[in-house]
Amino acid sequence: DQQVKQNSPSLSVQEGRISILNCDYTNSMFDYFLWYKKYPAEGPTFLISISSIKDKNEDGRFTVFLNKSAKHLSLHIVPSQPGDSAVYFCAASVGTSYGKLTFGQGTILTVHP
Amino acid sequence: ETGVTQSPTHLIKTRGQQVTLRCSSQSGHNTVSWYQQALGQGPQFIFQYYREEENGRGNFPPRFSGLQFPNYSSELNVNALELDDSALYLCASSFGQGLGETQYFGPGTRLLVL
């Protein structure tokens, strides 16, 4: 039972363009969502998060959008840089279960110079 | 300030054996969560320890067990290893029960079960 899904295994983007990574979830109890970035041989690194009371959160080049009715979130990276090439995971948690995250399968982002 | 460290980095075991993986949490953190990441999948929550007590468990059998020590370092023990236990095991530390963004992950231990 995959409660958090990232349906695109990979995404290739040109440097300077926008990268859009998508994530869908099925559990309506999820109320906190996060994006992590992972480089090879390293642990995931927190990128940005959003609470279910918001529909958008920005941090520099990174913006996360949440559509609760569609149970969908997306991460926009503008402009994309070669250093952004990594595996991106979306994750979700329920209320007081902070720290007990349910992850998607990940999307490999490649940004070409 | 040291980050989260895990040992060993790689490990090969045979089916039926037992394994212990170790995690040193970041300085000042009192919560450790363990995750299993199978190849091509996202991390799956195994369990969390807060102040030496188990504080939530994912959908893993009892042969997955853990400990947290007074210095808040932690161990993950897996008994009766199965081939499907081959995975990257990640630990993450945080202060308190932690919002997601305050979790800091270690580099992981890659376990291969033959």
Query: Which chain B residues are Cβ-neighbours of A43 within 8 angstroms?
Result: 4, 90, 92, 104-108
Averaged pLDDT, B102-109 = 90
Averaged pLDDT, B45-51 = 92
Query: A55 is in which domain, residue-wise?
Result: 4-112
Chain A residues 5-24 within an 8 A CB cutoff of chain B: 6
The residue type at A65: F
Query: Which chain B residues are Cβ-neighbours of A50 within 8 angstroms?
Result: none
What is the structure's pLDDT at A103? 95
How sure is the predictor about A97, in pLDDT bands with cuts at 50, 70 and 90?
Answer: low
Nearest to A98 among B43, B58, B100 (CB): B100
What is the structure's pLDDT at B60? 96
Over residues B23-33, the pLDDT tens digits come to: 999 888 889 99
What is the structure's pLDDT at B76? 98
CA distances from B77 to B64, B68, B86, B88 (A): 6, 11, 14, 14
CATH number of the domain that residue A88 is part of: 2.60.40.10
Strand partners, B69: none
Count of the separate structural domains present in chain A: 1
Over residues A36-76, the pLDDT tens digits come to: 999 988 999 999 999 999 999 999 999 999 999 999 999 99
Question: What is the DSSP-derived secondary structure letter of residue B25?
Answer: P
Cis peptide bond prior to A79, omega within 30° of 0: yes
Mean pLDDT is highest, among A94-98, B29-33, B107-111, for B107-111
List residues of B whose CB lies inside 8 A of any A CB. 4, 31, 33, 35, 40-45, 48, 56, 58, 90, 92, 94, 97-108
